[in-house]
Structure 1
Amino acid sequence: MQASTMDRDQWQILDITPCLKKKWTVLIQVLEPGHKEDSKVGGKFRKLLLVDSQGTQVTGMIYTNHVKFFENSLMAYKRYHVSNAVLKATEPKFRLSSYVYSWTFNTNTLVEEYPESVPPPLQCQFQFTPFSELHKHAETETYQCVRGVVIKCFPTDVISQEPDLKTKKYVIIVNEEKKPVILSLWNSIEKNEGRLLDQICETGPLIFAMRVKVTTFNGLSLSTRMGSAIMINPPVTEDLQLQKWYNKNKTELKELLQKKAYKDTEILLPYPEEKDIVPIAKAIANFKYRKATWIRGRLRLPTQDRSFSHTPCSNCLKSVEADMNWKIKCQSCKMDSEIQVILRATVDIDDGTASIRVCISNPDIQKFIPFTPNAVKEAEDSGKDMHDLIAASIQTMSVVGFIRSSETTYNQQSTTRISIVKAHKVTNNAFLASTVAAETQGSKQPHTLGQGTSKEEATQTHTSNNTYPAAIGNEATQELKHPPTVSEGTSKGEPPSEGALKRKHPQSEAYKETESLDGKTPRETKKIK
């Protein structure tokens, strides 16, 4: 096969344009083989990413009946001679390099496998976001690329059955920063890469998670979307390998797993740098484009329209009317479970530029009040009004919090919900007072929570020695159909258990991110009199 190509002119991807009035052949390597997917207009398609020896990348597309023709070809990391694919101009927002065309494969496209036992290192360069900077991209449409090793795979969860089958798998990934993060693999990626990872997880496989969404589910996590790709053990240069590091740090990584560090917001969302904290007025204005951000301010407890405690299923966090010591068969997640007591409150945070109303729950709420969840629950069950006691305990408190804005629609009315993902208690009120004064002076006029008009700040990523196509995705710019109102949000959900968890797809309207259950007991607690 190799000999048969020696009599042809060999070209590079950048050479292939409509102006080239002759037959052509390019030696390419498959970066991302893609999967057979359902098209919105009917039929199947497969999307690939290819690279040549110069590092130039091109998107390959295979449609309808041609998908089956190539099902055993164009496999990950292998090299092929490709001749005479159909060129199509690519929209600027979808371009991965300076090359402006994509290649469409059909049964007339000649694809010849290059004979070699081991593929060479990929010639393209890569750009990855450090785990410590993922929070800057949370709940945006600017998808990120990360590199790490897989240290745990959870069982596959079937979200819905045929004909609209949806499946999900959680895996835990970690890199040299030692901040384990949950990565959710959905549907075709779960079926292919997810099941392969199940088989090789014990070896600590290297993965490149390309174009994944950063979410505030479980504090901070990653999730595949349409257009994402998972590269498993890619052939790359030594500087991008992690096997030696993994072998050296196995014991510590095992301890991080045992501590469930992947759901520990103290690790995932530590106290931010000063430059990452945004005045509340600016945060409100930016909610249209940036749904999650750091703010700070003084706390105040308004009148509550519900109790401070509630009793959800400890597995799926669906509220259940039950006693604290009950063991139940949950009607929502269909699993044997226990009743968990959750503390929650609606609080106002004010920094002088604006005030914002958010929902806070344990474990964060327990940093600000001296009562345990069980104590509050027992007091409320006995008919005691806890508002004044809790208000008195937080009236001198200040907070630096990572908040998330989400929108829900009910009866054609849009409501904005704000929740605290992570709260850090501020003890230096003198520093806070000076900061608030500076922010107030810098604000031209007072703000209230409403529609934002400013653009999201530029994406910042840590770059290795190589540059891969950076985060791909468009920020939402559509106007809200209904002015948002302020109401309580919900906080984070319990990370996956070993059993199959029943949750909705994050892209579904029915999907709800629920409150964290991994509460911590305050250093001091008071009896409620």
Structure 2
Amino acid sequence: MEKLLSIKEIVPDMQDWSCKVIVQEKQQITQSLSTPTKKQKLIFVDTEGSKVEGIIFNHDISRVGPILQVYKKYKITNAVVRPIDSKYQTAELTMQWILTSKTVIEEDADDEDIMPVKFNYTQFTDLAQYVDRKDKSVDVLGIVIEAQDRRVINKHFKESVVQKSVLVNEQSQAVMLSMWDDFIKNEGQHIIAEIGNYPVVICRKLKVNNYNGVALSTWFDSAILVDPPVQEARELKNWAIRNTKLLAAIIDEKSYIKYNPQISAKPDQKTILISNVRPSQKNIWVKARFSFQHIFQKYWYMSCKKCCRGTAAADGVIFMCNTCKEKHPAQPRCHFDMDLCDDTGAITASVFGEQAEKLLKFTALEIMDHFKQNIELPLEAIHKELESKWFLIHIKPVQAQMSDAKQRYTVIYYSKLLNSDAVDSPAESKNAESKNPTLLIELQSDTADIVTSGATAIQETKPASKARQCLTQKLELLADQANNTSRSVSEGSKKKSRLM
């Protein structure tokens, strides 16, 4: 006669046993990189709150997988029991049940209203410490208030589909969640169907990325529970129903697409010296001054209104963007290079959009008008003001190397520091690197860093002024000089290799 046991009582090699469990989560089907073996993992929980991992292999996935539905209760009999490999065990999961077509699985109609399970959620304000950590994942609880359109992209030389959603917590903080491939077809469909009812999700084993400071992404072993019968989820759903106007305002303002220092920056944010910045670092904070008066540049480029990538289209012209694959008007966007300097050195970084406009105190449209009218931007006061100011700056390395082989960085966020917060005894003299005329040429190819989307160029009917032609020629000359320098270095290395 079968024994109805709890999860804790079931051990390897046990015969004639049964256990009533709830399916807490069901992962996507995955395949090993080294073998053709396919597998699907589940997590079961019993009335005592104990958990065990279920696993289905290969052909049994199509036979057994559809039977087991998330949040349903089942009586499982005589599955093969084995310990999980010690390096993959957790405090909650030490045993594994292998489910095959021979395993007896019966649905139990006596479903409980609330799953007897507790999760350890990571607060949104604590996500920054896990950015780009391959060895760490996070569990979060949130309300999905908006889901964006799906996009097809090439990832690791393979075509993938991604869909971004907006998660909000009870503190009205928002973070972007990217769901990939099978998650879109499964949990994503469920979320879209319930989007008007503020679906609550428990997302497990997510990766934290450095996008707009902090963003979340599914991983191969992630799990997303939609409207789970868990007490915390029920409470958050009720909060959402009581605060529909607040959530609607978040959607209208679209504040979630901007950098949120409340989530990404800490009051006691740790920084490193400029001399210690390395391209291999993904999440970099520094205290530095801004300097760009020695850099000859344009300060704007024409961009796609949606994806901000460069285009040859004229201002206001609606064109098909080759990057986001949609039709949008072209508009000017502020962009320029600057040196980030402290007492130990300087690095070059690019700043874009509103943050760039805030530094220059000009909008992109005003900058473009100055350029077209051949009026130099009055930046003397700005340069003088920046000499004595220190900033807390969040930067990330640019993946694509430029023709001059000099590593570039992008400013994600900056904030002005009070004098007491700045580094001790800032150097009075400017860094010698910033004065080096050779460095001046190396820094000028910022426009080459802008990816151009396809569009029909609109010829201007008004001829350009001589001064403006001169400005354009200087920009082109500096870019050519950088390319020639790179080419000379390359040819020199080839000759050297022949001689050797």
Instruction: State the TM-score, normalized to the length of structure 2.
Output: 0.75
1:35 lines up with 2:28 in the alignment: yes
Q: Sequence identity, in percent? A: 22
Distance 2:103 2:178 in 1: 35
Distance 2:372 2:282 in 1: 36
Please state how far the C-alpha of 1:48 moved relative to its aligned partner: 1.4
**Counterpart secondary structure, 2:424:** helix
Distance 1:57 1:32 in 2: 11
Please state how far the C-alpha of 1:150 moved relative to its aligned partner: 1.4
Could you tell me which of 190, 194, 200 is aligned with 2:188?
194
Could you tell me which of 115, 119, 137 is aligned with 2:112?
119
1:140 lines up with 2:133 in the alignment: yes
CA 1:284/1:424 → structure 2, altered by over 3 Å: closer, same or farther?
A: same
- For 1:110, the equivalent position in structure 2 comes to 104
CA 1:217/1:82 → structure 2, altered by over 3 Å: closer, same or farther?
A: same
From the two aligned structures, give the one with the greater helix fraction: 2
Please state how far the C-alpha of 1:190 moved relative to its aligned partner: 0.7
Distance 2:399 2:79 in 1: 44
Task: Check conservation: 1:147, 1:207, Cα contact below 8 A.
Answer: yes
Asked which structure has the greater CA Rg, the reply is: 2
CA 1:379/1:120 → structure 2, altered by over 3 Å: closer, same or farther?
A: same
Instruction: State the TM-score, normalized to the length of structure 1.
Output: 0.72
Distance 1:415 1:25 in 2: 65
Task: Check conservation: 1:417, 1:487, Cα contact below 8 A.
Answer: no
CA 1:96/1:200 → structure 2, altered by over 3 Å: closer, same or farther?
A: same
Please state how far the C-alpha of 1:22 moved relative to its aligned partner: 3.2
Please state how far the C-alpha of 1:43 moved relative to its aligned partner: 5.7
- Which one-letter code corresponds to 1:279 in the other structure? I
- For 2:498, the equivalent position in structure 1 comes to none
- Which one-letter code corresponds to 1:365 in the other structure? A
- For 2:394, the equivalent position in structure 1 comes to 402
Could you tell me which of 39, 45, 58 is aligned with 2:39?
45
Task: Check conservation: 1:168, 1:186, Cα contact below 8 A.
Answer: yes
- Which one-letter code corresponds to 1:156 in the other structure? R
* CA-to-aligned-CA distance 1:214-260 (integer Å, 9 cap, x gap): 22324432221211111011111258621221111111111111111
Distance 1:200 1:436 in 2: 54
Task: Give aligned pairs, total.
Answer: 433
* CA-to-aligned-CA distance 1:147-172 (integer Å, 9 cap, x gap): 111112223334479x9663222222
**Counterpart secondary structure, 1:76:** coil
* CA-to-aligned-CA distance 1:427-479 (integer Å, 9 cap, x gap): x2x2144x4349x9xxxxxxx9xxxxxxxxxxxxxxxxxxxxxxxxxxxxxxx
- For 1:360, the equivalent position in structure 2 comes to 351
- Alpha-carbon RMSD across the aligned residues, in angstroms, is 3.7
Alignment of 1:118-517 (within 5 A): 118-141=111-134, 142-159=136-153, 166-237=160-231, 241-266=235-260, 269=263, 272-273=266-267, 275-280=268-273, 284=277, 288=280, 291-301=282-292, 303-304=294-295, 307-352=298-343, 355-381=346-372, 389=380, 391-392=383-384, 394-405=386-397, 407-408=399-400, 417-426=408-417, 428=418, 430-433=419-422, 435-437=423-425
Distance 2:409 2:306 in 1: 23
Task: Check conservation: 1:280, 1:350, Cα contact below 8 A.
Answer: no
CA 1:334/1:431 → structure 2, altered by over 3 Å: closer, same or farther?
A: same
- Which one-letter code corresponds to 2:179 in the other structure? L
Please state how far the C-alpha of 1:27 moved relative to its aligned partner: 2.2
Task: Check conservation: 2:2, 2:16, Cα contact below 8 A.
Answer: no
Distance 1:188 1:120 in 2: 28
Higher relative contact order (CA 8 A, sep 6+): 1
CA 1:414/1:183 → structure 2, altered by over 3 Å: closer, same or farther?
A: farther
* CA-to-aligned-CA distance 1:37-90 (integer Å, 9 cap, x gap): 455433643221222333332322212111111132111011222233334443
Task: Check conservation: 2:295, 2:443, Cα contact below 8 A.
Answer: no
CA 1:487/1:408 → structure 2, altered by over 3 Å: closer, same or farther?
A: farther
**Counterpart secondary structure, 2:119:** coil
CA 1:9/1:202 → structure 2, altered by over 3 Å: closer, same or farther?
A: same
**Counterpart secondary structure, 2:117:** coil
- Which one-letter code corresponds to 1:330 in the other structure? C
Distance 1:105 1:486 in 2: 61
